[in-house]
Amino acid sequence: MLPKPRRPREKRIVELTRVTYTIAEFCEMTGIGRATLLRSIDDGSLLTVRVGTRRLILARSLATTRDGHGFSREQKTTERNEIE
């Protein structure tokens, strides 16, 4: 008796969404200079995460720069608590 032929496996396509960007990537996407971007990070307008020695900017911050509004102190605290 012959074995049953196998059905081909279904290919799964997984869509990945960027969660963070490097400082250089963020500058290129937004057209903001590096010094201006670093000032925005220092004053808390943009949310960042440290991974080792690297500082990465959260993708959610991109929406705030497009709107022209930064995060409020309350939003920053909430966002950071969710990440940790």
Q: Is residue 31 part of a domain?
A: yes
Question: Does a structural domain hold residue 6?
Answer: no
Tokens of 50: 């440290």
Residue 3 located in a structural domain: no
pLDDT tens digits for 28-56? 988 889 998 898 888 888 889 999 999 99
pLDDT, one tens digit per residue, over 52-72 is 999 999 988 877 655 544 544
What range defines the domain where residue 49 resides? 20-83
Domain contains 49 = yes
- What is the pTM for the complete model shown? 0.59
Would you state the structure tokens that stand for residue 75, as one six-digit string? Answer: 């939003």
Q: Domain for residue 10, yes or no?
A: no
- Give the chain's domain count: 1
Domain annotation covers residue 67 = yes
CB 21 within 8 A of CB 27: no
Per DSSP (E only), the strands in the chain are: 20-21, 48-51, 54-58
**Residue 14 counted as domain residue:** no
- Count Cβ atoms below 10 Å from residue 30 Cβ, excluding itself: 16
